[in-house]
Amino acid sequence: MTSVLLIYPFFIPHRDRSVFRFPPLGVSYIAASLQKAGHDVHLMDCTFLDKKDALEKALAVKADVVGIYCMVTMLDECFWFAEHLRDQSQLLVAGGPLPTCDPEPFLEYFDVVVRGEGEQTMQELLRAHEEASELNAVAGIVYRKDTNMIFTPQREYTKELDRIPFPARELLPNESYIRYGKEKYGYSITTVMSTRGCPYRCEFCSNVVFGGSYRERSPENVVDEVEAVLALGYDRISFADDVFTMKKERVVRVCQEIQRRGLNFNWECLGRVDALDYPTALAMKEAGCTRIFFGIESGNKQILELMNKKITKEKARQGVIAAHQAGLQVGAFFILCYPGDTDDTVLETLHFTTTLPLDYLGLSMPYPLPGTELYKRTKDRITRDWHPDDSRLGSHVLIFDADFSETKMWFGIMKGHAQFKIKKRMGKLAPLLLNPFEKSTDAIFRLLR
């Protein structure tokens, strides 16, 4: 059988301020599927490696086929690996969000691009490679023939997720993730994905791999994987679903299955504010959930509509309060200075954050990801590629000609975080400092260009 090397080319950026470190589930799922098909599979997660060591390890494998995952933040590293592994590889394959939505640049470095979900596609691609047969029978790929780009038919999404093997976690650097987690948070944590896809169409959100699909695993299958993960030595689980709370009845069934097995562990998830009520949040809390994150994104009605969020400020408040009252820690994400925002709407969003019972606040500037409607709306204004080391202050980088300067965006982000900290640390006395701080910094924000 074929020797395969799968690479997740993430190297921690020099100025990276994020403390979140999770293993790559996508390539781990593909590794497991290829193992089941009988292939000799190696997986290299570069998170805890430097580039020199990573390349030496990759070359030492001498794999027949190399598959490299890519998203916008990994483009340079993806091409770098492809250039260095070209001569010793029979077949170079690119996959992930960016190759899925923009395959043409990758065909300068790779033989084939896999679009969308990759488990079945990679199995069929390797079979075609072994048999030296035509690639046009493999759905879900792009390749060059002579000077032409050949797009094969789109592959249908896998419907029965329970049949997909669990991610090949034994190939991941689990000890490094466990050690990192305990040093940074005081506990180790890893991810499990219990559903795939999201049926919503937020303008800024890239869901090109799973598209607009939404598919579920059975609660029993999900908790089977949870047990396997806990056996590796992890303390907590982060459910990596786009929207774990999509269906309240299913959430409750997962919680009941956790309790039925007598599992005692803490977990967290992502949810929508309009897909959570108090009874569901309470069931989650009783099953070990400690924290939920919501993507609220704006505190202004018109901007929410522009983003196509399909939520209201009142729904956002209700969802946050339901989770808070159930005893969950609540995090929320907002995008400041979105195309269409004004000084008034940005300040309205920042004020809205101070009215919510939040335990974590995430603020970012807008980023037009390829494959999104926001990208289509702003592509003529994009001025540079994303690179975290370009930023003076952190991992956020303004890449398009916006109505707000990057300095003004950063001021808004820092102002929002300062207001959040004042509220959290001063408790009932917070208004004495928060109100004058908010008014004075509102005025400064308006003066900035």
The sign of the CA dihedral 218, 224, 226, 228 is negative
Distance of CA 294 to the CA centre of its chain: 13
Give the model's confidence band at 284: pLDDT under 50 very low, under 70 low, under 90 confident, else very high: very high
Give the model's confidence band at 19: pLDDT under 50 very low, under 70 low, under 90 confident, else very high: confident
Residue 289 has pLDDT above 70, yes or no: yes
Strand order of the sheet with strand 266-271?
Answer: 189-192, 236-239, 266-271, 289-297, 329-335, 360-364
CA distance 130 to 138: 13
158-215 confidence digits (pLDDT tens): 999 999 999 999 999 999 999 999 999 999 999 999 999 999 999 999 888 887 789 9
Q: In degrees rounded to 5, what are phi and psi of residue 72?
A: -55, -40
In a domain, 430, yes or no: yes
* One-letter amino acid of 425: R
* pLDDT value of residue 382: 83
Q: What is the 8-class DSSP label of residue 210?
A: T
Tally of structural domains, the chain: 2
In a domain, 50, yes or no: yes
92-150 confidence digits (pLDDT tens): 999 999 999 999 999 999 999 999 999 999 999 999 999 999 999 999 999 999 889 99
* One-letter amino acid of 87: D
CA distance 176 to 48: 7
Domain boundary among 131, 151, 171: 151
Q: Hey, is 19 helix, strand or coil? A: coil
In a domain, 278, yes or no: no
* pLDDT value of residue 394: 55
301-317 confidence digits (pLDDT tens): 999 999 999 999 999 99
53-103 confidence digits (pLDDT tens): 999 999 999 999 999 999 988 999 999 999 999 999 999 999 999 999 999
316-350 confidence digits (pLDDT tens): 999 999 999 999 999 999 999 999 999 999 999 99
In a domain, 16, yes or no: yes
Q: In degrees rounded to 5, what are phi and psi of residue 2?
A: -75, 140
219-245 confidence digits (pLDDT tens): 999 999 999 999 999 999 999 999 999
In a domain, 260, yes or no: no
In a domain, 429, yes or no: yes
* pLDDT value of residue 389: 54
Q: What is the residue range of 20's domain?
A: 3-151
Q: Is 18 exposed, middle or buried (0-12, 13-18, 19+ CB in 10 A)?
A: exposed
377-432 confidence digits (pLDDT tens): 998 888 877 665 555 555 677 888 889 999 999 999 999 999 999 999 988 888 88
In a domain, 197, yes or no: no
The DSSP bridge pattern shows strands 266-271 and 148-151 to be unpaired
9: its two tokens: 């080319």
Domain boundary among 151, 186, 212: 151
* pLDDT value of residue 391: 53
Q: Hey, is 91 helix, strand or coil? A: strand
Q: Hey, is 321 helix, strand or coil? A: helix
Q: Hey, is 124 helix, strand or coil? A: helix
* pLDDT value of residue 395: 60
* Averaged pLDDT for residues 269-287: 97
CA distance 93 to 447: 50
In a domain, 299, yes or no: no
* pLDDT value of residue 427: 82
* pLDDT value of residue 206: 86
Domain boundary among 116, 151, 186: 151
CA distance 202 to 243: 13
- Domain at 71, CATH number: 3.40.50.280
